[in-house]
Amino acid sequence: MKAKGFVKGRPRDLAVLNYGLFKVNSNGRIIGICGFLIRTDAGEAILVDTGFPEKYATDTEAAVQEDRLFEFGEVLHCGPENLPQSQLAKLGLDSSDITLQVCTHTHIDHIGALGAFPASPILISATERALPRPLYWGDVQPLEWPDQDYLEIEGDVEIGPGLTVLMAPGHAPGQIAVMVDLPSGTFLLTSDAISRPEEIDEKFAGSWDEDAAIASADRLMRLASKRDAFVIYGHCPRQWPELRKAPEVYS
């Protein structure tokens, strides 16, 4: 299967999925954990990222201890209602409706249900897929790659009309972003290529590759400016409360 042209319809609407809240130890920043659901006029449903693993919704404290996530921060909220299946239900969808999964990168708060939709292929950067295991976090890497179809990309790809996946390495080796052309205008989903606008001035300190992150962010923001796109950042504390969340949509 080829990623280019895999999606047949044009984007009809975009939903922000609420996967929970997290507090970062080093700075006290409280961030939303988000995913997205893009529906097309051909009846397709594209799921972008899947939040924390299910164990965080069933026994948060045990999951935090098992993964040593307390070393990085605190899971403030992640309940059953924050799992992908519950978020999809808000939109009248279930797992069988997903026609494509997009994995922006493989950190713990983005791949919790990576293998939970076996009927749909996973679109991912070839660089990220080449890793022995998903990154998860720090030196904790408990997940294996799901045994299912992958659409591996090595550069920018128009996966469908009005739907482009953009390479944006820096935060992670295979970080990607997504540009979505809705009837109301263009949206840029930066994921963690730009988690919040202030990262640009901070020069992406602490990233996997700071120089690459700077270059990727510069390119994404130039593309956003050129397209007059509404930018949804990966984890912006100021933006998160203001975003429409499922069942509300952008259309």
Model confidence at 200: pLDDT above 80: yes
What are the tens digits of pLDDT across the range 224-242? 999 999 999 999 999 999 9
Confidence band, pLDDT 50/70/90 cuts, at residue 1:
confident
Spatial contact of 122 and 150, defined as CB atoms under 8 Å apart: yes
Q: What is the mean pLDDT of residues 157-163?
A: 98
- Max CA-CA distance within the chain? 46
β-pairing verdict for 100-102 and 45-48: parallel
Model confidence at 7: pLDDT above 90: yes
Count Cα atoms within 13 angstroms, Cβ side, for 131. Answer: 20
- Strand ranges of the sheet holding 185-191, from the earlier edge strand across to the other edge: 157-160, 163-167, 176-182, 185-191, 230-233
What are the tens digits of pLDDT across the range 21-53? 999 998 999 999 999 999 999 999 999 999 999
Q: For residue 128, what are the contacts with CB-CB under 8 A and spacing of at least 6?
A: 103, 105, 106, 134, 135, 172, 173, 174, 175
Model confidence at 60: pLDDT above 90: yes
Please confirm whether the linkage preceding 247 is cis (ω < 30° from 0). yes
